[in-house]
Amino acid sequence: MIYGERAIENPIRWAMVGGGRGSQIGYIHRSSALRDFNFELVAGAFDIEAERGKDFGVNLHVNPERCYPDYLTMFEREAEREDGIQAVSIATPNYTHYEICKAALKAGLHVVCEKPLCFTVEQAEELESLAKEHNRVVGITYGYSGHQLIEQARHLIANGELGDIRIVNMQFSHGFHNVAVEENNPSTKWRVDPKFAGPSYVLGDVGTHPLFLAEAMLPKMKIKKLMCSRQSFVKGRAPLEDNAYTLMEYENGAVGMVWSCAVNSGSMHGQKIRVIGEKASIEWWDEHPNQLTFEVQGKPVRILERGMGYLCEEALREDRIGGGHPEGLFEAWSNLYRRFALAMKEADQGKQVDFWYPDIHAGVEGVRWVENCVRSADNGAIWVEYK
Ligand code: NAD
């Protein structure tokens, strides 16, 4: 159980790049990082427009002198201070992640980076080497992976309760972009432009989320080959897709499917994962995150509720309120930020952590999956060896 007591000696001096006023994801970074007092927001380059960013930072109680016009100035000036920043979160559009992350690692900072980490596997592996070389933590915000019931699913699978795994069905399929909302929405506009979004839209934007949930639940499963078909139903989005189906074969003989979609009219979010074994299946859906369905063939369906004493130790460790009251996205993110802080502390002391979190390798694997999907789709939806 988490009661909000400090997990590390002193809060990590922390800054943000992006996540400014009007951004979609900035607030959840702040509320998750700051919730358990493991981070302290002391600086930022919050906005592409310097003045607006400064005004925003001041409204977050950041010292105006530490609200910088851009990230390079911030890294430089903060390095000159005795109380300079130790970590930075990157919550900017995709095309900036690689350069900002590289500059942060070179400045000796721990990083929390939004997905996708960058555009190519080559860039991602370069960042991974850089993080290793500088002994810095890079956390990736696959937010729901911090939910306690993901731990429970991982535990059930590892304990053999499902038997050998045969099928993994994943989807993140919402309906919010069923028409050209990008015409009036800057947050969507860059997402459908390859210059800013990278080689994909929904594959990277939503598909990588349930893909990482599967990686978290099934850490040993490795993709062997895949086949992807992608479409742009709303004209003007091509070559980027607003719908994609990806079929996968795993090395252990299991198969998987990811449905990535932003044009599923009427669907609120539709992020689901169902893992099917020879004996039983589990299913989790982000619109009802406090319930994990556990179905044993021939037995009544069981709904496992978050916060209940019958869950495994790992699923109870990060509970904040007990069963009954809902916990959701914000708590899952807070759990991740707590793990990021602990990992940063351990790295500073030259130690390894004994828990998992979406780290730089998860970031690399997300980029790798998108790259393979695009290679398949753009060659006529053919099966490709995973590389
Ligand atoms: P957005 O367009 O709504 O906001 C981007 C913010 O970054 C704005 O405040 C903008 O002014 C600022 N910005 C842009 N370039 C900048 C720069 N060079 N320096 C400083 N600030 C800059 O975008 P968003 O929807 O918040 O997405 C941001 C990132 O977060 C994207 O990579 C996206 O994929 C990711 N995201 C992740 C999740 C998740 O669940 N993990 C959810 C939504 C978005």
- 57: its two tokens: 């930072």
Q: Where in the chain is the domain with CATH 3.30.360.10?
A: 147-316+365-385
The Cα–Cα gap between 363 and 373 comes to 16
CATH number of 12-144+341-358: 3.40.50.720
CA of 317 to the centre of ligand 1 (A): 31
Interval 352-365: pLDDT, tens: 999 999 999 999 99
CA of 192 to the centre of ligand 1 (A): 14
Task: Give yes or no for a contact between 98 and 88, defined as CB atoms under 8 angstroms apart.
Answer: no
CATH topology of domain 147-316+365-385: Dihydrodipicolinate Reductase; domain 2 (3.30.360)
Tokens 């290679």 found at: 375
Interval 203-234: pLDDT, tens: 999 999 999 999 999 999 999 999 999 999 99
CA of 266 to the centre of ligand 1 (A): 25
Task: State mean pLDDT over 276-293.
Answer: 98
- Three-state DSSP class for residue 309: coil
Mutate-to-test residue for ligand 1 from 24, 30, 49, 111, highest number of ligand atoms within 8 A of CB: 24
Q: Where in the chain is the domain with CATH 3.40.50.720?
A: 12-144+341-358
CA of 199 to the centre of ligand 1 (A): 17
Residue 265 burial class via C-beta count within 10 angstroms: exposed 0-12, middle 13-18, buried 19 and up: exposed
Which atom of ligand 1 is closest in space to residue 20's alpha carbon?
Answer: 9
Which atom of ligand 1 is closest in space to residue 26's alpha carbon?
Answer: 26
Interval 140-171: pLDDT, tens: 999 999 999 999 999 999 999 999 999 999 99
- Rounded to 5 degrees, φ, ψ at 168 are -125, 115
Interval 63-109: pLDDT, tens: 999 999 999 999 999 999 999 999 999 999 999 999 999 999 999 99
